Amino acid sequence: MPERQKIALVGIGKIAVDQHVPALAASPEWELAATVSRAGTVDGVEAFTDIDTMLAARPDIGMVSLALPPVPRFAYAQAALRAGCHVMLEKPPGATLAEIHALEALADAQGVTLYTTWHSRMAHAVAPAKAWLADKAITRAHITWREDVRKWHPGQDWVFEPGGMGVFDPGINALSILTEILPAPVHLQSAELEFPANRQTPIAARLQFTGHVTADFDWRQTGPQTWDIEIDTSAGRMALRMGGNVLELDGQSAQGENTIMDEYPALYARMAELVAKGQSEVDLAPMVHVADAMTLGRRIEAGAFNF
Ligand code: NAP
């Protein structure tokens, strides 16, 4: 087996522990060689609390994966790119579109890879759904993405701070699938956003796109969680369930596997492929829809929200 390439993982929080660390432990391409986190560590891995110190101390590390929330991420990405490292960004890739354009230009100038990951696009049924839709006429599509913020973001006040994106933090996963599988792009026409009285970002959103495409995002769903995309076509109904992992055609399960545990290994494999080819992959289409919703959305006040 060829020697694994060394990487540093930055931001040892919920998603790092749930997904990145297990994916890296099993990766044939990458070896977790350092972490950067103000508080978190990974057993047996050299830990730094500051990115500049890590970059100076470990010139043998050629790739940095950023699992921080979007707002602090830009400065870390810039430092890593300036040091000549390849960089992989959690979703959403940043707090604004312009900062990702700046990172893309910097990566180009440095001759390194920048990868804006969208983990939901790696869900088992997304590629089969895209292939099935490719030659169909779509008459209507509806996304239902309803989950419990207390379960998935326990105590994470940053999701309700400016740049935290509120319910679009999960909703952008649905939009990453939509923008991947639709044969032709759509754009936002109107939106309603529910903001808790004591918060800066929406807790629910209803979106209307061209082409009879609609979305319902809500972060107040307890009990079973819903991550569905239903699409009516001239050849019948297709549904993606379980966040893109299960494909249904006319009510019958057709393909997929009900687990999200393969998404992050697939992201790291894709990163290895991009680095080997000397390419970047920067797709901001899901984030454009969120920015448009924030620009065009009608604001509705909802009850105060506390964790
Ligand atoms: P998190 O646990 O709140 O934060 C991750 C880590 O980032 C924290 O442990 C913290 O490490 C560091 N951090 C937080 N604020 C920081 C700041 N201002 N400056 C520097 N470091 C800071 O968040 P998360 O749930 O892992 O989410 C991180 C990213 O992963 C988000 O973009 C999210 O959309 C994405 N994601 C999350 C989930 C999920 O289920 N939660 C799923 C998929 C993707 P230290 O304090 O130790 O430095």
Assess whether pLDDT exceeds 80 at residue 247: yes
| Upper half-sphere CA count for residue 150 (Cβ side, 13 Å) | 7
Atom in ligand 1 nearest the alpha carbon of residue 156: 3
Which residue spans of the chain are classified as CATH 3.30.360.10? Answer: 120-258+291-302
The CATH H-level (homologous superfamily) assignment of domain 5-116 is NAD(P)-binding Rossmann-like Domain (3.40.50.720)
**164 C-beta closer than 6 A to ligand 1:** no
d(CA 19, ligand 1 centre) in Å = 12
Calculate mean pLDDT across residues 42-47: 97
Catalytic residue among 14, 91, 151, 277: 91
Q: How much is the pLDDT for 125?
A: 95
Domain with CATH 3.40.50.720 in the chain: 5-116
CB of 93 closer than 6 angstroms to any ligand 1 atom = no
Give 280 Cα–ligand 1 centroid separation in angstroms. 23
Total-model pTM: 0.97
Selection from 43, 65, 44, 70 nearest residue 54 by Cα: 65
Residue whose CA is at the smallest distance from ligand 1 atom 38: 15
pLDDT tens for 168-185 read 999 999 999 999 999 999
Cis status of the peptide bond prior to 92, with omega within 30 of 0: yes
What's the pLDDT at 253? 76
91 an active-site residue?
yes
Is 80 exceeded by the pLDDT of residue 2?
no
- Give the Å distances, CA to CA, from 295 to 27, 278, 288: 40, 36, 10
By the 8 A CB rule, do 66 and 54 touch?
A: no
| Protein fold of 120-258+291-302 | Dihydrodipicolinate Reductase; domain 2 (3.30.360)
Q: Which long-range contacts (CB under 8 A, 24 or more apart) does 239-242 make?
A: 240/123, 240/125, 240/126, 240/129, 240/177, 240/181, 242/123
- Give pLDDT tens digits for 107-129: 999 999 999 999 999 999 999 99
For 202-211, the pLDDT digits (tens) are 999 999 999 9
Any atom of ligand 1 within 6 Å of the Cβ of 244: no
Residue 73 is encoded by which pair of tokens? 């991420």
Instruction: Assess whether the C-beta atom of 163 lies below 6 angstroms from ligand 1.
Output: no
Q: How many helices (H) and strands (E) does the chain have?
A: 10, 15
Would you give the end-to-end CA distance of the chain in angstroms? 47
Among protein residues, the one whose CA lies closest to atom 40 of ligand 1: 152
Of 52, 117, 118, the C-alpha closest to 85 is 52
Residue 294 Cα to ligand 1 midpoint, Å, equals 22
DSSP state string for 269-288: HHHHHHHHHT--B---HHHH
Our answer on whether the CB atom of 120 is closer than 6 Å to any ligand 1 atom is: no
Helix, strand, coil shares, percent, the chain, to 5: 35, 30, 35
Q: Whose CA is nearest to atom 3 of ligand 1?
A: 156
Mean pLDDT of the chain: 96
Identify whether the C-beta of residue 164 lies closer than 8 Å to the C-beta of residue 290.
no
Widest Cα–Cα separation across the chain: 59
What pLDDT is recorded for position 255? 73
Closest CA to 81 of 58, 53, 102, 50: 102
Inform me whether the pLDDT recorded for 236 exceeds 60: yes
Is the CB of residue 121 less than 8 Å from the CB of residue 243? no
Contact assessment for residue 144 and residue 167, using Cβ atoms and an 8 Å cutoff: no
Give residue 159 CA to ligand 1 midpoint distance, Å.
10
pLDDT > 90 fraction of the chain, expressed in percent and rounded: 95
> Computed from CA positions of residues 156, 225, 91, 124, in that sequence, does the dihedral angle turn out positive or negative?
positive
- At residue 136, φ and ψ (nearest 5 deg) are -105, 155
pLDDT band at 1 (very low <50, low <70, confident <90, very high): low
pLDDT tens-digit map of 55-91: 999 999 999 999 999 999 999 999 999 999 999 999 9
Minimum-distance ligand 1 atom for the alpha carbon of 91:
32
11 lines ligand 1 (CB under 6 A): yes
* Ligand 1 atom nearest to 36, measured from its CA: 48
Is ligand 1 within 6 A of the CB of residue 152? yes
Amino acid at 77: A
Q: Ligand 1 pocket, 70 CB below 6 A?
A: yes
pLDDT at 146 over 80: yes
* Residue 118 Cα distances to 88, 92, 178, 235, 305, angstroms: 11, 8, 12, 29, 28
Ligand 1 centroid–CA 13 distance in Å is 5
Query: Ligand 1 centroid vs 157 CA: distance in angstroms?
Result: 11
38 lines ligand 1 (CB under 6 A): yes
